[in-house]
Every structure is written in structure tokens, then in C-alpha cells.
């Protein structure tokens, strides 16, 4: 008699049914996790990412294709720059790490360790990475882990993450390395791009902390990550130490707030599927069965943003105007409610949001009346 399925096995089977039984899962990367942490109230994204649904293909099937993603040219340029930085056993990368973060004597080219992290499947690679980190921490030398695999539990499902590199210092400390193809001009780079890289690196640092916690003497995961970019407009590398303590704290808190994927999946109607081969009407019903929390910031981070924006506008949701405006309006959740409160036809006058709206409407009416009077007087003078 076969053994009953475990809780984890049952969940994996349910998620496989949601994306399509013969559809391979799309891996959840650090960029997606950073975006998910920035919008923890969106059950739709949490479920789709947890189930490994290809949101780009899903958006196209829904009739709302997204231009979200990296161009092929930028992808190739980034790979070429990364290969250059890691050449010769990562000598240049380790030199930059020592120069910006220290952590021991200067690395000697050819004497640093670059362990083989190959293994079968993401679970095998994650286990091999954990073993390599443990061995490197006690070696007393420089070690470069090229594309290690880290595991992180997200809303009850494992996510496997692959940073560009992790460096183990002779003093036993661990550093996340992010290699980007955007330029660093005169020692500084575009603030928005650096911020995005910092949020992504914070996810890797959090996953590294989970590995360190399982060791007998947990090593220090450095809160400064190394951001490596082209210097000015050349192909030569330069680097900066980026403090990600704030991003790490926010990511840790927001991921902890995520509703567990199994709880979201349990609330869906029986037979729900996000298999992109299904008819558009069926997919639309499946997507709408999962609550979403849209905000304009989603346009830069989620493949389904256009679809969710259209639905939010159709339903008059205040979130379509931005999270800051939504926060100022309290219990008023639709644009219709806001306009009605401003006109005095509904709403509690003791509610600060309602009172502010009515005051603003009054000031607007006075301004328009004054402008009309000026315009009328000006016409008479002529």
C-alpha cells in the first residue's frame, strides 16, 4: 500500500495542477522576490510565483502583453562583462573585494579557491553550495563561489536563488557580489539602478543568513555587498560597497507578512488552472479568482501589471492612483467614494480624510469662481 502524500508533496502536486501538470515551473529569482517583498499584500503574485507560472506567457494569453524584461543586447553585454570580471580564477573580482571590504590579507592570483558547485538539480546544487561555504569558512583563505545556489522558504514554498557570486574572506566572513552592466561614472551610478541591485542583493544576503544559521559556529554575513560595474564607459571593472541593512530588514519583514501559498490555493474554486494553453476567458476567470493589490509601481516589476491596471481602473480602485494616495484616503477605497465624499453626498464628516476632501473641494470651487470673475472682468475692460 503506497504511503500517503506528505504535506509538502500535496502542495507541490496542487501547484503543478495550477500551472498545468506537464508545464515545468518557472524558477523564482531574487528580482521577483524583491518585487514580491515590495508588495506583500498581492496574493495573486504570491500564488503565481509560488506555483512557478510563467507570467509573461500568461499576460499574453490574457491579451495584456507586457514589455517587462531585459533586452537581448543588454543580456549579452552583461554576460560578457561578468565573464571578464571572473576571468583568471576571479583575480580581479577578489582584488576589488579586498580593496573595498578588506577581510584579510591581499589575495594572491592563482592561490584562491574556486570550488566546483555542479550537482544534480537545484536541491543538489544548494546542498553542494552549503558544503562549499562550510569548507571555505574554515580554510583561512580567499574563496570565490561562482553562481552558487541558495534556498529560501517563501510563503511556504522553497525558492532557489543564484547570485552572481559569493566571496568567503580569510576572516570567515561572507559577501554577496552583484555584477551589473550599467556604468559607474566618477564613482557613482544611477540611483534607481543601484537601489534595485541593493534590493536584489538583500534577498541573497537573507538566503545566506539561513545557510549560516545551520552551522555550528555561524559566520558573519556582511551587510555590505559588493556592486561591480563597468568604470565610466569602458569594459574595465570598478566596484562599490553598498550597505543593504535597510533593504535586508524590509525584505525580511515583508516576506514574513506574505500569506502562505497553500492558504491562497485552498481558497480557489475547484479546477482552477493558469495553464496558458487554456482559453482566454477561462484564464481570466482564474486570475480574477485571486485577489490582487495593484499600484503604479507594479509596472516596473510585474509582467501582469497591464492586466491588473486595467481591472483596477475599471473598478475605480484608489490604488491605481498610487500607494501614497491610497494611504491618505483611509476607508475610501474607490474613486467614486472619494468623489462622493468630496461633494458631501456621503461619508462621515468627522473622518479626517472626508473632511480634507470637502475642504479641498471647497477651495477648488472658490478658485474656479475667482478665476471666472477675473476672466469676465477682463473681457469687460476690453
pLDDT tens per residue across span 46-90:
899 888 899 999 999 999 887 665 667 777 888 899 999 999 999
Average pLDDT rounded to a whole number, residues 6-21: 75
- Residue 157 C-alpha cell reads as 514554498
Q: How far apart are CA 53 and CA 272, in angstroms?
A: 13
Residue 103 backbone zone (phi > 0: left; psi -120 to 50: alpha; other: beta) = left
Predicted pLDDT at 8: 54
Average pLDDT rounded to a whole number, residues 313-317: 87
Q: How far apart are CA 309 and CA 299, in angstroms?
A: 9
The 3-state DSSP class for residue 174 equals strand
pLDDT of residue 381 exceeding 90, the answer is: no
Average pLDDT rounded to a whole number, residues 290-318: 89
Q: Which residue has the higher pLDDT, 164 or 68?
A: 164
Predicted pLDDT at 67: 66
pLDDT-based confidence at residue 362 (cuts at 50, 70, 90): confident
Q: How far apart are CA 173 and CA 182, in angstroms?
A: 27
pLDDT in tens, 317-355: 888 787 777 777 877 888 888 888 888 888 888 888 888
- What's the whole-model pTM score? 0.74
Q: How far apart are CA 182 and CA 215, in angstroms?
A: 36
Q: Which residue has the higher pLDDT, 168 or 216?
A: 168
CB 357 within 8 A of CB 348: no
CA angle centred on 133, ends 130 and 139, rounded to 5°? 145
Amino acid at each position: 500500500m503506497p504511503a500517503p502524500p506528505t504535506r509538502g508533496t500535496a502542495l507541490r502536486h496542487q501547484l503543478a495542477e495550477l500551472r498545468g501538470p506537464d508545464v515545468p515551473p518557472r524558477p523564482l529569482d531574487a528580482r521577483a522576490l524583491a518585487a514580491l517583498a515590495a508588495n506583500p499584500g498581492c496574493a495573486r503574485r504570491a500564488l503565481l510565483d509560488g506555483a512557478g507560472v510563467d507570467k509573461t506567457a500568461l499576460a499574453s494569453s490574457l491579451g495584456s502583453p507586457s514589455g517587462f524584461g531585459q533586452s537581448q543586447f543588454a543580456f549579452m553585454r552583461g554576460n560578457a562583462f561578468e565573464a571578464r570580471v571572473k576571468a583568471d580564477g576571479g583575480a580581479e573580482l577578489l582584488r576589488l573585494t579586498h580593496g573595498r571590504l578588506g577581510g584579510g590579507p591581499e589575495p594572491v592570483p592563482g592561490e584562491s579557491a574556486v570550488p566546483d558547485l555542479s550537482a544534480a538539480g537545484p536541491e543538489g546544487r544548494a546542498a553542494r553550495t552549503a558544503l562549499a561555504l562550510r569548507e571555505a569558512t574554515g580554510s583561512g583563505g580567499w574563496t570565490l563561489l561562482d553562481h552558487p545556489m541558495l534556498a529560501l522558504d517563501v510563503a511556504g514554498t522553497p525558492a532557489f536563488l543564484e547570485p552572481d557570486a559569493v566571496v568567503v574572506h580569510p576572516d570567515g566572513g561572507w559577501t554577496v557580489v552583484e555584477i551589473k552592466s550599467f556604468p559607474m561614472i566618477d564613482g557613482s551610478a544611477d540611483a534607481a539602478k543601484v537601489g534595485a541591485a541593493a534590493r536584489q542583493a538583500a534577498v541573497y544576503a537573507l538566503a545566506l543568513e539561513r545557510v549560516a544559521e545551520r552551522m555550528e559556529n555561524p559566520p558573519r554575513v556582511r551587510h555590505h555587498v559588493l556592486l561591480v560595474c563597468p568604470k565610466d564607459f569602458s569594459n574595465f571593472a570598478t566596484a562599490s560597497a553598498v550597505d543593504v541593512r535597510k533593504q535586508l530588514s524590509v525584505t525580511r519583514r515583508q516576506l514574513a507578512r506574505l500569506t502562505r501559498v497553500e492558504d491562497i490555493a485552498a481558497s480557489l474554486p475547484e479546477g482552477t488552472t493558469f495553464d496558458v494553453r487554456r482559453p482566454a476567458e477561462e484564464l481570466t476567470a482564474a486570475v480574477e479568482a485571486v485577489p490582487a493589490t495593484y499600484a503604479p509601481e507594479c509596472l516596473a516589476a510585474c509582467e501582469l501589471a497591464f492586466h491588473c491596471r486595467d481591472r483596477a481602473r475599471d473598478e475605480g480602485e484608489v490604488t491605481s492612483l498610487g500607494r501614497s494616495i491610497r494611504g491618505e484616503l483611509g476607508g475610501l477605497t474607490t474613486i467614486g467614494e472619494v468623489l462622493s465624499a468630496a461633494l458631501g453626498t456621503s461619508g462621515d464628516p468627522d473622518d479626517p480624510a472626508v473632511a480634507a476632501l470637502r475642504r479641498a473641494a471647497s477651495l477648488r470651487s472658490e478658485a474656479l469662481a475667482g478665476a471666472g470673475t477675473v476672466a469676465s472682468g477682463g473681457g469687460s475692460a476690453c
